[in-house]
Amino acid sequence: MSSGVILYGPPGSGKDTITSELTRLRPEFVLFERLKAGPGRTTGYRLTTVDHIEELSRTGGLLYRNARYDAEYAIDRQGVASLVDADRIPVLHMGQVAGVGAVAAFPLHWIRVLLWCPLDVTESRSISRGDKDVEARVKVWHETREDLLAHETEPWTLTLRTDQLSPTESANTIVDALAASASSESRNVRELVG
């Protein structure tokens, strides 16, 4: 069975950096570019309209959609399928536990990775990369923590503290889990997020 990777975590937890490292280690890894309608960052997205996202939603073409940072985001079935058909391993970035579960319904062997870092790390990383919406990202860090605590039994293949592991160590851990066809299980999320 083909595989995919879901990276879930708060802003600044390393989703982009670890994805780059995965791609460097094995070129078959590829960032899944979500559909996006709205302002803000454009890198790593396929820009579209809210009407297009609505149409995909009506026709069953979406795995998940959400709104954040005054924009609409969506993960489309066809987008994931086209990467798998090209023998690529899609790497999806998620910010909601509900989205992790929704995407995991797509028939792949998913490596579900919970990336975590303390609030001060999110804030300092956001500032150092020049984010203009640091306050919003700090707010989302708190929302992510609450989301995890509300879904304590959600299964994860790996939990990685990105303030304690380098991007290379994190990526290698993910590659090893993929090679071992590791399964997901409930973790002690409350201890992880403090």
Predicted pLDDT at 6: 97
Percent of the chain with pLDDT over 90: 76
Q: What confidence tens digit (pLDDT) does each residue in 153-180 have?
A: 999 999 999 999 999 999 999 999 999 9
Say if residue 131's pLDDT is above 90. no
User: What tokens were used for 99?
Assistant: 């989205």
Q: To which H or E segment does residue 166 belong?
A: none
CATH number, domain at 177? 3.40.50.300
Mean pLDDT of the chain: 93
84-126, pLDDT tens digit by residue? 999 999 999 998 999 999 999 899 999 999 999 999 998 888 8
Instruction: Give the whole-angstrom CA distance, residue 119 versus residue 57.
Output: 34
pLDDT above 90: residue 68: no
| C-beta of residue 62 within 8 angstroms of C-beta of residue 53 | yes
How many Å apart are CA 2 and CA 165, to the nearest integer? 27
Which pLDDT band, with edges at 50, 70 and 90, does 70 fall under? Answer: confident
pLDDT at 23: 96
For residue 52, pLDDT over 90 is answered with yes
Q: Decide if pLDDT at 9 tops 90.
A: yes
Report pTM.
0.92
Interior angle at CA 130, CA 129 and CA 135, nearest 5: 105
pLDDT band with cut points at 50, 70 and 90 for residue 132: confident
133 band by pLDDT with thresholds 50, 70 and 90: confident
Number of domains comprising the chain: 1
In terms of Cα–Cα distance, which of 90, 27, 85, 88 is closest to 63? Answer: 90
Domain that holds residue 96: 3-193
Q: Reply yes or no on whether the pLDDT at 19 is more than 80.
A: yes
pLDDT of amino acid 42: 84
Position 10 pLDDT exceeds 90: yes
Residue 70, classified by CB atoms within 10 Å of its CB into exposed (0-12), middle (13-18) or buried (19+), is: exposed
